Amino acid sequence: MKFNATNVRASASAADLIFEALREAIFTGEIGAGEHLRQDALAEMFNTSRIPVREALSRLEQQGLVKTERYKGTTVTSLSVDEVREVFEFRALLEGEVIRYAVENMDDETIEKARRACDAFATETDSARYGELNRDFHYALYAKAERPYHLKIVSQALDRIESYLRAQLVLTDGMERARREHMGILEACIARDKERAAELTRAHILGASASLISFLETRENSK
Amino acid sequence: MKFNATNVRASASAADLIFEALREAIFTGEIGAGEHLRQDALAEMFNTSRIPVREALSRLEQQGLVKTERYKGTTVTSLSVDEVREVFEFRALLEGEVIRYAVENMDDETIEKARRACDAFATETDSARYGELNRDFHYALYAKAERPYHLKIVSQALDRIESYLRAQLVLTDGMERARREHMGILEACIARDKERAAELTRAHILGASASLISFLETRENSK
DNA sequence: TCAGATATGTTGGGATCAAATTGTTTTTGA
DNA sequence: TCAAAAACAATTTGATCCCAACATATCTGA
């Protein structure tokens, strides 16, 4: 007899929980850039020892969300405008290519799934969930590219700038524009027009980048 | 009295040293795919406790070089042919773009540095150093792209398949061909022809991929 | 024979201590 | 007085010993 394949073993370890909590806190801005994270304090906060805390911090560092210096501790990293711009540029290149692959394998089921994600994004009113629903839509399409490595890197790039992405979406026209552009991408996928889908995706990302960067720069200047 | 003969106390932390040692051992094949890594054994081997060992393993896991399952331990991951193919495909896309940026900013100093790296690669006789010198050449050019995030991802992709890359280079015509192709790329950079440099870089990577994969597949079939 | 019990080994995580390093404060000497 | 030196505090890194959770192999009894 074969046992039920439920993934009990994949249940989160303490390090997983701390990692997720910190990641989310950084994304929402609850922990601001430059802030110092002390291992002892975190261990106490999460009611564990330092061991899982260190593992979580190490993973955050690998993702570039924090930086730790020997004997000095770990701080939340802040990205410069140039760095943000570069990550968006990278995403435009990569996601454009990924959607091209995806359209090649596109089927009705995937389109249906993407349409639902698109609707969910368009009707959501809780701005805290914009980022998540935005990912849902794109990933629904990207899944069909059948390129797990590419997708992992896309995901990593999104993590790097997630907090900025969330900020961009809640800007006045960010959501409305994203809604429209998602529709366009979806239609190109339905028409199986991979070049148009790729071009729209690139434009979608670069447009968001431009709007975010102009926001960041005016904020920077007004300080 | 206990002697602590290891040079743990240099500048890198113990975890750094263990990480590097394991990484190199995996690259050279000293630790084969599927092999089991036990924390106790490693701690004893490096004359430390399990704490830095676990940190090193965690970092290796983040890079995808090993996989750990809860309460079961960590094993060296092996890539399927499809995965290897995908990483090469990814590199072709990304490195093609990176060299395009690099040519835009190209200067004589960089070309001189790349030429030296190219010569060093062409004249090296120790096959263990091929991989490193190959990286040196490409990075010398890529540096001028002034895209740190892109370069980090390139580096990460190379890490993922480093051991395969080394295997590919020591195949009979791998080195000779790489020599020729490096020359071509360098010349395109000198001519400031970014499209040709990009196309040659793509072809260089995809060619290596094709030759490696046919090698892997015949080996697979002959088993 | 084979399902269940048992033994053993490994990883996950806790607690506490020592060592190393950095930053801060206090003391000292000109 | 004030700059350099010394002492001190805070913090991270690592060691050691501990136990719990879980996996696997072996043994046992029907």
The CATH number of domain B14-76, selected from 3.40.50.300, 1.20.1440.130, 1.10.10.10, 3.30.70.100: 1.10.10.10
pLDDT score for B168: 86
Record: contact A9-B71, CB cut-off 8 A: yes
pLDDT score for A110: 95
The answer to whether B89 CB is within 7 Å of strand D is no
Q: Nucleotide C14: nearest residue by CA–C1'?
A: A49
Chain A stretch 32-71, residues whose beta carbon is closer than 8 A to a beta carbon of chain B: 51, 54-55, 58-59, 62, 70
The arithmetic mean of pLDDT across residues B29-41, rounded, is 89
Q: Find the nucleotide nearest B49 (Cα to C1′).
A: D15
Q: CA-CA distance, B105 to A8, in Å (whole number)?
A: 53
The domain ranges of chain A are 14-76, 81-221
The angle that helices A130-142 and A148-170 make with each other, rounded to 10 degrees, is: 150
B2 — pLDDT class (breaks 50, 70, 90): very low
Query: B140: Cβ–Cβ under 8 A, 6 or more apart, which residues?
Result: B110, B113, B114, B117
* Nearest in space to A188 (alpha carbons), one of A200, A179, A197, A180: A197
User: Quick check: B107 and B66 in contact, CB under 8 A?
Assistant: no
pLDDT score for A196: 97
Percent of chain A predicted with pLDDT > 90: 51
Say which residue the tokens 């995706």 belong to.
Answer: A201
pLDDT score for A172: 63
The angle that helices B130-142 and B174-190 make with each other, rounded to 10 degrees, is: 10
Reported as a single tens digit per residue, the pLDDT across A58-70 is 889 888 899 988 8
Record: contact A153-B69, CB cut-off 8 A: no
Reported as a single tens digit per residue, the pLDDT across B106-155 is 999 999 999 999 999 988 888 778 888 999 999 999 999 999 999 999 99
The two structure tokens encoding residue A205: 């990302």
The arithmetic mean of pLDDT across residues B170-185, rounded, is 86
3 state SS of B121: helix
pLDDT score for B29: 86
Query: Stated in angstroms, how far is B97 CA from C12 C1'?
Result: 43
The answer to whether B14 CB is within 7 Å of strand D is yes
B9 — pLDDT class (breaks 50, 70, 90): very low
pLDDT score for B4: 30
pLDDT score for B171: 73
The two structure tokens encoding residue B155: 């580096």
Query: Stated in angstroms, how far is B15 CA from D16 C1'?
Result: 18
The answer to whether A67 CB is within 7 Å of strand D is no
Query: B65: Cβ–Cβ under 8 A, 6 or more apart, which residues?
Result: B22, B23, B26, B76, B77, B159, B160
3 state SS of B48: coil
User: CATH assignment of A81-221?
Assistant: 1.20.120.530
Residues of A in contact with B69 (CB under 8 A): 9
Q: CA-CA distance, B78 to B65, in Å (whole number)?
A: 8
Q: Is A177 on the interface with B (CB under 8 A)?
A: no
Q: DSSP secondary-structure letter at A162? A: H
The arithmetic mean of pLDDT across residues B174-203, rounded, is 95
Chain A stretch 83-142, residues whose beta carbon is closer than 8 A to a beta carbon of chain B: 83, 86-87, 89-90, 93-94, 97
pTM exceeding the 0.85 threshold for the entire prediction = yes
The angle that helices B194-222 and B81-104 make with each other, rounded to 10 degrees, is: 170
pLDDT score for B182: 95
Distance of CA A108 to the CA centre of its chain: 26
Q: Which residues of chain A have pLDDT under 70?
A: 1-12, 172, 220, 223
Q: CA-CA distance, A30 to A26, in Å (whole number)?
A: 6
Q: Find the nucleotide nearest B73 (Cα to C1′).
A: C11
B65 — pLDDT class (breaks 50, 70, 90): very high
pLDDT score for B223: 53
- The answer to which of A73-87, B8-22, B51-65 has the lowest mean pLDDT is B8-22
Strand C neighbours among A 48-107, CB < 7 A: 48-52, 55, 70-72
Q: Is A181 on the interface with B (CB under 8 A)?
A: no
pLDDT score for B11: 53
User: Quick check: B90 and A153 in contact, CB under 8 A?
Assistant: yes
pLDDT score for B169: 84
Report DSSP letters for B130-149, one per residue. Answer: HHHHHHHHHHHHHGGG--HH
Query: Stated in angstroms, how far is A70 CA from D1 C1'?
Result: 37
